[in-house]
Amino acid sequence: MIGYYVIAGLIFLVSSFVSNKLKSKFKKYSELSLQNGMSGAEIAEKMLRDNGIRDVKVISTPGMLTDHYNPQNKTVNLSEGVYHQRNAAAAAVSAHEVGHAVQHAQAYQWLQMRSKIVPVVGIASKFSNIILMVGVGMSATGNALGNTIFLVGILLFAVTTAFTFITLPVEYDASNRALAWLENSPGMLNREEHAAAKDALKWAARTYLVAALGSLATLMYFVLRYMGNSRD
């Protein structure tokens, strides 16, 4: 089990590094004003129009890093800063979220898969930690039922881990769609602005990758512990 703690420690350090790097990148690129003078909301609306999407609204949502696309009510939700600001960071985020709307409109396979399992993941994430704690506690006291409960918790946690990996192609594809549109749309971004948007989205994507690897490492730890209990 020592190996797990070493891996968990490394993932924590990498996660902290990526998170801090992402914040510094977005702070830096928030200071790079766009020559076209467009706000994040205006960029999002133009990208929707260019992709022939007329039934999706762009709205402002409170808070920071609250940007997301809601497929249920077809809204691109941009945080207040991204919605109003006119810089490379806002351009990157707004175009990325519209990338999800384009995925939805084109029935992108990975997005459809993720949307279908969201209700199951919601239940799994809500109860997995509690069930795992109960199972571990009962197993430690020698209760035979504890290992069965532990296994149920592992299966639930496996669902949330699978979700983190299904999320990866969805996020990377949305960024690729955003960058392609920003590059190919006349008068949208100059070379420096596009490079900044690309760098910002690259670091944003890495946060999802680190989260997925961290979840996988935790799952492996629980599986190994369960196997150890079964042999006792």
- How does pLDDT run across 153-188, given as a tens digit for each residue? 999 999 999 999 999 999 999 999 999 999 999 989
User: Average pLDDT for residues 55-73, to the nearest whole number?
Assistant: 93
Q: What is the pLDDT of residue 4?
A: 61
- Residue 51's Cβ-count burial label (10 Å; 0-12, 13-18, 19+) is middle
Nearest to 170 by CA among 123, 77, 106: 106
- For every residue of 59-72, DSSP letters joined together read EEESSSS--EEETT
Say if residues 95 and 178 touch (Cβ distance below 8 Å). yes
CA distance 4 to 204: 26
Q: Is the pTM of this model over 0.95?
A: no
CA distance 177 to 106: 12
State the chain's mean pLDDT as an integer: 92
Q: What is the pLDDT of residue 232?
A: 57
Amino acid at 205: A
